[in-house]
Amino acid sequence: MNDIFADLAWRGLIQQTTDDQHLPQWLNSGSRTLYIGFDPTAPSLHVGSLLPLLTLRRFQRAGHRPIPLVGGATGMIGDPSGKSEERNLMSVETLRANVEGLQQQMRQFLDFDCGQRSALLVNNFDWMRNFSFLDFLRDVGKNFPVNVMLTKDSVKSRLDRSDGGLSYTEFSYMLLQAYDFVHLYDHYGCQLQAGGSDQWGNITAGIDLGRRMRGVQLYGLTCPLLTKSDGTKMGKTEKGTIWLTADRTSPYAFYQYWINVADADAGKCLRMLTELPREEIESLDRSRETEPHLRQSQKRLAEELTGLVHGDAGLATARRATEMFFGAEIADLNDAQLVEIFADVPSQQLSKERLSGDGLPLIDALTEAGLAKSKGEARRTIQQGGAYVNNRRITELDTRLTGSHLASETVMVLRSGKKNYALLRFAE
């Protein structure tokens, strides 16, 4: 058995435990079963979900059995932890689609066919649907002191507000999640629940319920929330959330997010989100101190996470797209890919008819794209070797652009000098 507790501690992945004294020894004395719950608020996991998912992966690789739990039942209510207002309830159809999406993603990260350590994917709707309201109150609710529930931060913070407080629906969330722990103990011998630090109240509630209902000792462990050095959430940009599916966040955009991580956050991300060995991470730490301009930490981080989330093919696509933005010849891409790569580049829309016949003079194209203030300046740019179409240099003044110059279905990429890009989009 690998010392999973020591590794988690070194990586900064332990915020709290319910038994600091005995938990390390207990974990290292045999194979244990643990679970982490995932709220199906969307059909895809996001960067914030990556840390708990990789925590399960670390435990499995250390010889333990992970159970990722998708909250098909609890998702119908919504976890109030860390929320300032009540969530909008999802339809059954939306919830079902979200659960299916999350289940499919989790299979990318965990091994479900490796003997006793095989991951087990569960959905709490499968056992909660068998409860009647009266049965749940009688069998579970009677073991849950209200005064204890009122001390939990997730409840107190909402009850102290004057603008709505907490509904009974959200108040009952804690009971449902706590019973998940008891059910998983009964059926799979699960004795450890892990999660983000915002789940501390729910985790300790499950441990207390296990003691009251079964007389057993259960354990809890929380990880820090994934935040930047300024306190904001990791995985959020001006354009929105960074998702783990290519249809929501492309491999290129995912790769670029990690390439652009600040030095102050790079070391933490390498420890918390990658499986790189300690020696390599510490070497990268030294590189940030002595050669920060090389951004070796960010490059390694981007490669590791993009390969993990999107596979070798996704990483190759992201690398190629990055190279194109910095001058590599552009080819074999579609409109969506080009527009995403050059999302911050000025663009103009022209009629596709201008590519027919003799075509669009390059001089006119550079001017209309905003890369030259006049036709005279456009001519000088071409003569001096500074004009590019799809990153191919064009030196002939009489060049006319036709459909053969399109880099994708409707897009042409123009460049003046080393870094001045513009897109021309040709509509019917």
Pick the most confident of 99-108, 297-306, 340-349.
297-306
Q: Is the pLDDT of residue 85 over 50?
A: no
Checking 160-168 for CB contacts under 8 A at 24+ apart, the result is 161/84, 164/85, 164/86, 166/80, 166/86, 167/86
Torsion sign across C-alpha atoms 377, 380, 386, 388 = positive
pLDDT value of position 147: 83
Burial state string for 393-420 with b = 16 or more CB within 10 A and e = fewer than 16 = ebeeeebbbeeebbbbebbbbbbbeeeb
What is the CA 297 to chain-centroid distance, rounded?
19
Kindly report the average pLDDT of the chain as a whole number. 90
Determine which of 187-196, 223-232, 266-275, 338-347 has the lowest per-residue pLDDT on average: 338-347
Q: Is the pLDDT of residue 84 over 50?
A: no
Determine which of 32-36, 103-107, 359-363 has the lowest per-residue pLDDT on average: 103-107
The Cα–Cα gap between 313 and 380 comes to 41
Q: What is the pLDDT of residues 120-141, one digit of tens each?
A: 999 999 999 889 989 999 999 9
Q: For the residues 407-424, what does the mean pLDDT come to?
A: 93
Which of the pair, 23 or 88, is modelled with greater confidence? 23
Give yes or no for a contact between 298 and 259, defined as CB atoms under 8 angstroms apart: yes
Q: For the residues 300-305, what does the mean pLDDT come to?
A: 97
How does strand 65-70 pair with strand 33-38?
A: parallel
pLDDT value of position 340: 83
- The DSSP call for residue 86 is P
Burial state string for 364-391 with b = 16 or more CB within 10 A and e = fewer than 16 = bbbbbbebbeeeeebbebbeeebbbbbb
Q: For the residues 317-342, what does the mean pLDDT come to?
A: 85
Q: What is the pLDDT of residues 15-43, one digit of tens each?
A: 999 999 999 999 999 999 999 999 888 88
Residue with tokens 């904001």: 232
Which of the pair, 296 or 250, is modelled with greater confidence? 296
The Cα–Cα gap between 288 and 55 comes to 26
SS3 content of the chain, % helix, strand, coil (to 5): 50, 15, 35
Terminal Cα distance for the chain, rounded: 64
What is the CA 62 to chain-centroid distance, rounded?
23
Q: What is the pLDDT of residues 260-285, one digit of tens each?
A: 999 999 999 999 999 999 999 999 99
Domains observed in the chain: 4-223 (3.40.50.620), 236-326 (1.10.240.10), 339-427 (3.10.290.10)
pLDDT value of position 155: 75
The Cα–Cα gap between 2 and 58 comes to 10
pLDDT value of position 162: 60
